[in-house]
Chain A
Amino acid sequence: EVQLVQSGAEVKKPGESLKISCKASGYSFTTYWIGWVRQMPGKGLEWMGIIYPGDSDTRYSPSFQGQVTISADKSNNTVSLQWSSLKASDTAMYYCARHRREVVTAVDASHIWGQGTMVTVSS
């Protein structure tokens, strides 16, 4: 079964660092783009960026460039999303999502979704 399983909920303080993960199984990890989507409480979906695990080619939304780091670990079939210094405004649900097709182009819809990781940043 193709699935993405995300790490558990986190509660952090402003200024702390954090890395959340998305473990893929049931398919060829290196040949599908995986991205991250933010959903702030009661709000809509925001596309953050994507990575191609085969060569770690990474694309960011300008809104998130420099604010987060997306990485892939081929040895563990895991994609991560990392913050060096959290803000209260980072409080949100974060979803990882895999593209539909096994293609090198980044032009595709997101077909397989993780269950989400809730990140709460509060002093």
Chain B
Amino acid sequence: EIVLTQSPGTLSLSPGERATLSCRASQSIISNFLAWYQQKPGQAPRLLIYDASSRATGIPDRFSGSGSGTDFTLTITRLEPEDFAVYYCQQYVGSPKTFGQGTKVEIK
């Protein structure tokens, strides 16, 4: 099973600032089959990024994904008020398709 470790656990930032979230895998993720999701309280998760760096339909370009192998990053260039949420990474090449434990982006 591939274990994903996200850091930091909580990120305290102000609107307009840049957010950098990390996701590290316990083994290399083939073909960068890694996704990022956003979840707000009381809502289902929403797909932001797939294949490590491709934005899903309708996702603003302030969200970007990068990385390969075992180290991946989600960057939000300028935080908007609606971006404060919990973010999860998920690898989907192995079975089970594991999630990281999440990073909460909160308003400072």
Contact = CB atoms under 8 A, between A and B. Distances in A.
Interface string A94-108: 010100100000111
Interface stretch (B10-18, B19-27, B69-77, B92-100): B92-100
B46 interface: yes
A66 interface: no
A111 B51 CA distance: 12
A114 B44 contact: yes
Contact of B44 (A47, A63, A95, A109): A95
B47 A111 contact: yes
A62 B96 contact: yes
Interface of A: 35, 37, 44-47, 49-50, 59, 61-63, 95, 97, 100, 106-111, 113-116
29 contacts: A44-B88, A44-B99, A45-B37, A45-B39, A45-B88, A45-B90, A47-B90, A47-B96, A47-B97, A61-B95, A61-B97, A62-B1, A63-B96, A100-B47, A107-B33, A108-B50, A109-B35, A109-B47, A109-B50, A109-B92, A110-B47, A110-B90, A111-B47, A111-B50, A111-B56, A113-B44, A114-B44, A115-B44, A116-B44
Interface of B: 1, 33, 35, 37, 39, 44-47, 50-51, 56, 88, 90, 92-93, 95-102
